[in-house]
Structure 1
Amino acid sequence: MNVAIITGASSGIGEEFVRQVARQTKIDEIWMIARRRQKLEQIGKTVKKSVKVIAMDLQIKDNIKQLEDMLKKEKPSIGLLVNCAGYGIRKEFSKGSLEEELGMIEVNCISLTALTYLCLPYMQKGGRIIQVASAASFLPQAGFAVYSASKSYVLNFSRALNKELKKSEIYVTAVCPGPVDTDFFLISDKGSKMPSYKKYFMARTDQVVRKAIADSNRKKSISIYGVSIWLLRFLTRFI
């Protein structure tokens, strides 16, 4: 059985990955991982694929161990891993709580790294790993310091891992979208509002995910949606 594992699957980009991956004939079952069981079950009923609902908070180490045990027991053949779980809070570092700041690192970096490590032994030849980073990874951002730093980790980790795994014919793509029309901002803007100019660069979730899947299938190491974000990438690299 060819399995896709998708974290952060209960909303936003993760939910859209579930919907678009479910249309791929090569995938037999989708493991949906997120905290909200009811939402996962609702989404699972709307897709025409076998799904496994795994309701857990990846910030909790015991849950990571539980997932490790599940993998050892079921020994799935993983064709696709999508690490989409993550969050950000737009706030000056000194004004955020320690729990908030460390939580971003734990979910965006540590859990993503752990999931990738645990899934690799079960990944088949030609398998794909999609790591959801952000255009925030391209440069430091005051007022969004920990989030942008955590996504820079995701980008650099993914690019290096892609190089390492090519000999095994497993390919890693870091997805670096700009602002995307999701519930992400309900959490991030609790600290301070997103700059109004960024609203002009807002992308649709389905467009970002479609591009990410296409770029992953083309074995690209980075997926960037939109000319404006490509330009940002160019400017931060060369100017």
Structure 2
Amino acid sequence: MNIAIITGASSGIGKEFALQLDAGLYTIDEFWLIARRKDRLEELACDLDHMAKTIPLDLTQEADMEHLRALLRKERPAVRMLINCSGYGIMGQFSEIDSREQIGMIDLNCRALTEITHACLPYMKKNSRIIQLASSAAFLPQPGFAVYAASKSYVLSFSRALSEELRSRKIYVTAVCPGPVQTEFFDRAEKYAATLAIKKYTMVTPQSVVRAALTASARKCPLSTYSPLIKAFRLLAKVIPHTLILKAMRLVK
């Protein structure tokens, strides 16, 4: 049985991946939809033409992660696509944010993504795909968003290295690095502080980000960035010393 596993499938970009793949992917027998909110997963499953297994899990809990590993061992599917979208961010000064929330970011954005990828690899065959949701925040340290940006730098670095390691197996890894996206992300992210107004003017739709990511994955590209602005930001972060960019960021606050 060929399956696609999507984490963070209950909303936003994860949900959009499920919808777009459902409309255009014919080599998958079943979607495995993973998120904490069971009701949202069941609603999504009803909207899909493909068979869908809803798996309500909290990926920061080892018992839930073990449940997924046990399910893989039991069913031994061919994981043709793994799409890791689970994650969250919280804005604000590091010293002012509850430490448990910040450790939670690292736990979900980094550890859980790493564990799920490791668990799925034994079930992946030639021409399988892994899509990891990073962020344009991965390109540069971000004061006021310090832990989130660092966690997404991990996702980007891990994905680029994994892409090289798996090349001989013809398993292709794409890191997706969007800028601000019109999702529920900011409902939680702005608990302690608001994002810069300029970022809100650059928001794009999840449909556009997912479409670009799937195109990049189909082309075996290790990186997907959407919009000319984010492509320019990536280039800027590569050629200009970060100390100068951070100084300029202080001046515009």
TM-score, normalised via structure 2 length: 0.94
Deviation at 1:132, TM superposition (A): 0.1
For 1:19, the equivalent position in structure 2 comes to: 19
For 1:228, the equivalent position in structure 2 comes to: 229
C-alpha separation in 2, matches of 1:207 and 1:59 = 29
Q: Aligned partner of 1:75: which letter?
A: R
Superimposed CA distance per residue, residues 82-101 of structure 1 (whole angstroms, 9 cap, x where no aligned partner): 00000000011111111101
For 2:147, the equivalent position in structure 1 comes to: 146
Q: Percent identity?
A: 51
1:7 and 2:7 correspond: yes
Deviation at 1:199, TM superposition (A): 1.4
C-alpha separation in 2, matches of 1:220 and 1:206 = 19
Deviation at 1:173, TM superposition (A): 0.2
Q: Aligned partner of 2:158: which letter?
A: F
Q: Aligned partner of 1:14: which letter?
A: G
Does the CA contact (< 8 Å) of 1:77 and 1:123 recur in 2? yes
C-alpha separation in 2, matches of 1:56 and 1:65 = 10
Deviation at 1:62, TM superposition (A): 1.0
Give ranges in structure 1 of 5+ residues lacking alignment.
Answer: none
For 1:37, the equivalent position in structure 2 comes to: 38
Does the CA contact (< 8 Å) of 1:21 and 1:27 recur in 2? no
Deviation at 1:150, TM superposition (A): 0.1
Does the CA contact (< 8 Å) of 1:180 and 1:202 recur in 2? yes
1:101 and 2:102 correspond: yes
Moved over 3 A (4+): none
Give ranges in structure 2 of 5+ residues lacking alignment.
Answer: 241-253
Q: Aligned partner of 2:172: which letter?
A: Y
For 2:207, the equivalent position in structure 1 comes to: 206
C-alpha separation in 2, matches of 1:29 and 1:22 = 10
1:82 and 2:83 correspond: yes
C-alpha separation in 2, matches of 1:191 and 1:143 = 10
For 1:195, the equivalent position in structure 2 comes to: 196
Superimposed CA distance per residue, residues 126-173 of structure 1 (whole angstroms, 9 cap, x where no aligned partner): 000000000000000001000000000000000000000000000000
C-alpha separation in 1, matches of 2:27 and 2:216 = 17
Q: Aligned partner of 1:20: which letter?
A: Q
C-alpha separation in 2, matches of 1:192 and 1:61 = 31
C-alpha separation in 2, matches of 1:89 and 1:198 = 15
Superimposed CA distance per residue, residues 169-207 of structure 1 (whole angstroms, 9 cap, x where no aligned partner): 000000000000000000001111111001121011100
C-alpha separation in 2, matches of 1:184 and 1:26 = 31
Deviation at 1:9, TM superposition (A): 0.2
How many residues are matched?
Answer: 239
Deviation at 1:61, TM superposition (A): 1.0
Q: Which structure has the bigger radius of gyration? A: 2
Deviation at 1:122, TM superposition (A): 0.2
Structure 1, 20-29 or 86-95: larger mean CA deviation: 20-29
Report the secondary structure of 2:221's partner residue: coil
C-alpha separation in 1, matches of 2:202 and 2:2 = 36
For 1:170, the equivalent position in structure 2 comes to: 171
For 2:246, the equivalent position in structure 1 comes to: none
C-alpha separation in 1, matches of 2:55 and 2:125 = 22
Deviation at 1:27, TM superposition (A): 1.4
C-alpha separation in 1, matches of 2:125 and 2:32 = 16
Report the secondary structure of 2:174's partner residue: strand
C-alpha separation in 2, matches of 1:31 and 1:91 = 34
